[in-house]
Amino acid sequence: MARSQNAPKGDDLRIVRIELTSLMVPFAEGARDVMEKSDSSLGMSIPSEEPWDGGEFVICRLTTRDGSCGLGEAFVWLPETGVSPAQIVDAVKHALSRYVIGESPFNVEKIRHRMEVNVNRSDVAKGLIDMACYDLMGRITGRPAHDFMGGCCMDEIPLCALIPLVDMETMIMLCRLFHDQGIRTFRLKLGKNIRNDMDIVGRVREELGEDVRLRVDYNQAYNPDEAVRAIRAIEPFGIDFAEQPVAASNYPGMVHVQQHVAIPVMAHEGCFSLQDIVTLVKLGGIHAIGLNGERPGGVTNCLRAVTYAEMEGMGAVLHNQPLGISSAMQIHVAAARYHSLGHDMELFGHLMMSDDLIVDPINYDNGTATVPTGPGWGVELDEAALDTYATGPTVVIE
């Protein structure tokens, strides 16, 4: 409940309770049908045997002494995130919670610093807590979360559509469908082979014309030399950036690729912390920065990364397939830093997942996301849905 008048002070603002709930939300039927048309049933070329039947998440609820609550959400998939919900819960319960309990959510920088110096890595778990602090600040004050990020620059945020790697006709059908809905930016999953990559990008450009923006995602499909040839082959089609063309851990390979192609390269699976971002930029391995709730660990670090990208003269991309809480978070970040990003935001959880776990859906009409106007993230958790998709009891830390 928002506290716009008679706001609590002092000890009433201190966080006294952390609740963590692990979830598994199945893919929506339409998303499953499309992905099953791909060679791997994953809709992408990532070299993984890990099944992908839906999204695994952790929902975090922070509660202050006066009863105010703030929400965070983390999306995980082992081939990309490298941690499971159980590992996130364990990191918070046995380590990070001691730097949160007893603190005010307004002290996000203090909390961030203490978590950083006392616990190495664990960026997803740290980000989950940080995200919930921003919602909690909004709930306490009755203000939208973007007010704590610099204010709102845009009320509607243009979106990018994700096109999975399936047969050509299905990919074109999806492009037309989203184009008819007002979307003018598309991320194309590639990586089957270089000839197929060229055919896909060329056909999409022919179908949609020169006015749309295209970005591509290889999901680690190639070795560095192959990646150079693959990216050069699609340069004539006008590409905003190429995402993760080589293995996530191959930083020298990313450098080799970026030094030999004109299209900006972006890391995803191999880039989690602010230091990862800075290292890749300084090495010359990326010319675009990918961000979400898990990378580089919450709102505070995400805002820092956007500023860093702007200072380095490169774009920043907000993209993910989250539930409603993290979708709202990314929308608020985009609203606050819209003029610094340079790329349309991509949110696909509301289409991929069978439930978004919020009471009232976010408005995604006309190819945009409307910024929620309520306090904090401006969305309410669907408690019944939380119970439905929970994979175990809620872990309570006090």
In contact, 259 and 284? CB cutoff 8 Å: yes
Which residues are bridge partners to 316 per DSSP?
Answer: 289, 342
DSSP-derived secondary structure letter, 375: S
- Residue 2 belongs to a domain: no
- Residue 377 belongs to a domain: no
Tokens of 251: 């930083």
Looking up residue 252, the CATH number of its domain turns out to be 3.20.20.120
Give the pLDDT score at 8.
60
Q: Which residue has the tokens 């014309």?
A: 209
Tokens of 82: 């490298």
| Euclidean distance between CA atoms 236 and 253, whole angstroms | 23
Give the pLDDT score at 1.
41
Helices (H), 274-343: 274-283, 298-311, 324-336, 338-341
Domain hosting 389: range is 10-142+383-397
Q: Tell me, yes or no, whether 215 and 282 share the same domain.
A: yes
How many domains is the chain partitioned into structurally?
A: 2
- Residue 215 belongs to a domain: yes
Give the pLDDT score at 47.
82
Count CB-CB contacts under 10 A for residue 360.
12
In contact, 79 and 376? CB cutoff 8 Å: no
Q: Tell me, yes or no, whether 314 and 348 share the same domain.
A: yes
Is the pLDDT assigned to residue 218 strictly greater than 50?
Answer: yes
Q: What is the mean pLDDT of the chain?
A: 95
CA distances from 134 to 16, 174, 202, 262, 391 (A): 16, 35, 43, 38, 26
Q: Tell me, yes or no, whether 173 and 128 share the same domain.
A: no
In contact, 164 and 18? CB cutoff 8 Å: no
Is the pLDDT assigned to residue 7 strictly greater than 80?
Answer: no
Q: Tell me, yes or no, whether 287 and 387 share the same domain.
A: no
Q: Tell me, yes or no, whether 158 and 75 share the same domain.
A: no
Q: Tell me, yes or no, whether 175 and 93 share the same domain.
A: no
Residue 39 banded pLDDT, cuts 50, 70, 90: confident
Across 236-247, average pLDDT: 98
Which run of H or E residues covers position 174?
helix 168-180
Q: Tell me, yes or no, whether 182 and 258 share the same domain.
A: yes
Residue 40 banded pLDDT, cuts 50, 70, 90: confident
Residue 4 banded pLDDT, cuts 50, 70, 90: very low
| Euclidean distance between CA atoms 334 and 329, whole angstroms | 9
Residue 31 banded pLDDT, cuts 50, 70, 90: very high
Q: Tell me, yes or no, whether 219 and 296 share the same domain.
A: yes
Residue 50 banded pLDDT, cuts 50, 70, 90: confident
Give the pLDDT score at 2.
45
Give the pLDDT score at 51.
80
Q: Tell me, yes or no, whether 231 and 341 share the same domain.
A: yes
**pLDDT tens for each residue of 109-167:** 999 999 999 999 999 999 999 999 999 999 999 999 999 999 999 999 999 999 999 99
Percent of the chain whose predicted confidence (pLDDT) is above 90: 91
| Euclidean distance between CA atoms 174 and 316, whole angstroms | 25
- Residue 5 belongs to a domain: no
Q: Tell me, yes or no, whether 358 and 252 share the same domain.
A: yes
Is the pLDDT assigned to residue 369 strictly greater than 70?
Answer: yes
Q: Tell me, yes or no, whether 248 and 332 share the same domain.
A: yes
Q: Tell me, yes or no, whether 25 and 41 share the same domain.
A: yes
Is the pLDDT assigned to residue 173 strictly greater than 70?
Answer: yes
Across 200-218, average pLDDT: 98
Tokens of 199: 């055919």
Count CB-CB contacts under 10 A for residue 205.
18
Percent of the chain whose predicted confidence (pLDDT) is above 70: 97
DSSP-derived secondary structure letter, 353: B
Looking up residue 31, the CATH number of its domain turns out to be 3.30.390.10
Across 244-262, average pLDDT: 97
Quick one: three-class SS letters along 99-162?
HCCCCCCCCHHHHHHHHHHHCCCCHHHHHHHHHHHHHHHHHHHCCEHHHHCCCCCCCEEEEEEE
Give the pLDDT score at 6.
55
